Amino acid sequence: MAYEVEIILMRQTASYLAIPIFVVDPNGDLVYYNEPAEDLLGQRYDEAGEMPLEEWSTAFLPTDENGDPLPPDDLPLVIALQERRPAYASFWITGYDQTRRHLSVVAFPLTGQNSRDLGAVAMFWQEGPR
C-alpha cells in the first residue's frame, strides 16, 4: 500500500523511539507499531502486520478497571482519528501473549499541510510493575 510521506516518516521516527507507538492511516487501519509496543502488545509487528480498525480495536481486549469491555469508540486512538483531536485514557488490555496490562494512552491526529488527514498516532505507558 502507498502511504503519504508523513506516515512513512512517522513510522521511521517511531522505530527510533523507546516509547511504545501505534500508527494508523486515515481509515483507521494499523500501519505500524514499534518494538517497545511489541512488548506491551505481546507480538512482533512483523507477525501481526497491518490490520483494519475493526480488528485492532478489539484484538487486545481493552477493558475498564472492572473488566468490562471498552467500545472501540472510547479508545483514545479512535477518538483522535474520528474527532480529529487529542485524547487520553487509562485502561487494561490483554496482549497476544495473554498478559493483562494496565496502560495509559495518549493519542493525537496526524494532520499534514493544507489540513490533510493523515491518520493518528498513539503512545502508551504501562502502569504499575513491569
Phi-psi region of 42 (alpha: psi -120 to 50; beta: other; left: phi over 0): left
Q: pTM of the entire structure?
A: 0.90
Cell readout for 111 is: 494532520
**How far is it, in rounded angstroms, from Cα 127 to Cα 124?**
9
What is the predicted pLDDT for the residue at 129? 60
Q: For the chain, which residues make up each domain, given as ranges?
A: 5-123
Class of domain 5-123: alpha beta
pLDDT tens over the chain, length 130 residues:
667 888 999 999 999 999 999 999 999 999 999 999 999 999 999 999 999 999 988 888 899 999 999 999 999 999 999 999 999 999 999 999 999 999 999 999 999 888 899 999 999 999 876 5
What is the predicted pLDDT for the residue at 2? 64
Burial of 98 (0-12, 13-18, 19+ CB in 10 A): exposed
The residue to which cell 500508527 is assigned: 23
